[in-house]
């Protein structure tokens, strides 16, 4: 049971950063895609070579306009008390327009070696554990195969605004980590290499959240969201690397994000507790390919779904 709770705890920890895997990538704000596109158009008119900064900023828009892609994401967390360093791998397809996606999530230390099914449909995230792992969760009703997180409700509660309102400026999906490329402040070209057979140029950049803040121009809720993020991370800047092919498509992105000390978790009783996180940095690598792949995802039947808050309350009752 202790091993099972370790796995469940890791999945809930994954939710701190990937629970927002729902919602469309959305239209680009003037702070990012449109401004970058404008800069690129001006460069084209002047027949000048774009700078590395312009190339990286434009790559976000170009990739999103591809519509969809196969996505492979690896998130590596540092060791902490009671939990060794571990990585979680997520693979599947993502629709950049709707945010819908169909993924599998694997963790090396999962006792059964199985994979967690991970769906995103209409701004709701659903997760189903493998049968062998479910058998070690006697507290979970057998008919409740899927754990659901309503992302619209989550953002309304946390920021007083809808998920749709946030989509114009804030990253919401695995692929929407691309949105951080709109906020790069400095970029250097560091080499070239092939990613899944595609020749790419590799860039190192610094994401500057202040660029987004400057462009919000008094949008109170979004400003508060970014300020909260800065406070949790303890910084307003963090590094990223990106591999861009000859068509301007992002083939890979790497981010190293400092972890906050803890994150608030609300239980079914309405009480909020602090969930401790490992110290150090979380490294996330996302690889994209097969652009334009069809994405067709359906939500599980309602009778097979348990809300995340109810699930977390059951887990906490087992000493997780």
pLDDT in tens, 190-220: 999 999 999 999 999 998 877 766 665 656 6
Beta bridge mates, 201: 192, 244
Q: Give 141's contacts (C-beta < 8 A, 6+ positions apart).
A: 306
Evaluate if pTM is beyond 0.85.
no
CATH number at residue 165: 2.50.20.20
Sort strands 305-307 and 146-150 into parallel, antiparallel or unpaired.
Answer: parallel
- Rounded CA gap, 59 and 249, in Å? 6
**Out of 14-28, 114-128, 303-317, which region has the weakest mean confidence (pLDDT)?**
14-28
How large is the average pLDDT for residues 238-260? 90
Domain count, the chain: 1
Domain that holds residue 216: 2-317
Highest mean pLDDT among 19-28, 107-116, 159-168: 107-116
Residue 127 is predicted with a pLDDT of 92
Read off the DSSP letter of residue 244. Answer: E
Task: Output the pLDDT for position 123.
Answer: 86
List CB contacts of 96: < 8 A, sequence separation 6 or more: 24, 25, 63, 64, 66, 67, 68, 69, 173, 175, 176
């Amino acid at each position: 049971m202790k091993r099972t709770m370790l796995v469940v705890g890791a999945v809930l920890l994954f939710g701190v950063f990937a629970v927002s895997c729902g919602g469309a990538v959305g239209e680009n704000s003037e702070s990012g895609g449109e401004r970058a596109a404008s800069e690129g158009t001006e460069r084209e008119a002047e027949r000048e070579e774009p700078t590395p900064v312009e190339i990286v900023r434009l790559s976000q828009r170009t990739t999103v306009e591809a519509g969809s892609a196969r996505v492979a994401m690896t998130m590596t967390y540092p060791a902490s008390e009671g939990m060794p360093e571990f990585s979680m791998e997520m693979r599947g397809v993502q629709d950049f327009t709707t945010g819908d996606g169909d993924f599998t999530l694997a963790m090396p230390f999962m006792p059964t070696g199985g994979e967690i099914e991970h769906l995103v449909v209409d701004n709701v995230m659903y997760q189903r554990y493998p049968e062998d792992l479910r058998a070690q969760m006697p507290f979970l009703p057998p008919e409740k195969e899927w754990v659901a997180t309503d992302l619209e409700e989550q953002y309304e509660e946390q920021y007083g605004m809808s998920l749709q309102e946030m989509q114009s400026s804030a990253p919401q999906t695995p692929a929407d980590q691309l949105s951080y490329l709109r906020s790069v402040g400095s970029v250097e070209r560091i080499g070239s290499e092939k990613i899944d057979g595609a020749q790419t140029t590799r860039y190192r950049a610094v994401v500057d959240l202040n660029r987004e803040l400057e462009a919000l121009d008094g949008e109170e809720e979004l400003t508060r969201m970014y300020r909260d993020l800065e406070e949790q991370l303890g910084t307003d800047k963090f590094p990223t690397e990106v591999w861009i092919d000859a068509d301007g498509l992002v083939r890979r992105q790497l981010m190293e994000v400092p972890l906050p000390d803890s994150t608030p978790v609300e239980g079914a009783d309405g009480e909020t507790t602090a969930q401790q996180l490992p110290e150090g940095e979380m490294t996330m690598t996302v690889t994209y390919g097969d652009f334009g792949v069809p994405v067709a995802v359906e939500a599980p039947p309602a009778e097979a779904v348990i809300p995340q808050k109810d699930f977390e309350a059951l887990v906490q009752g087992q000493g997780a």
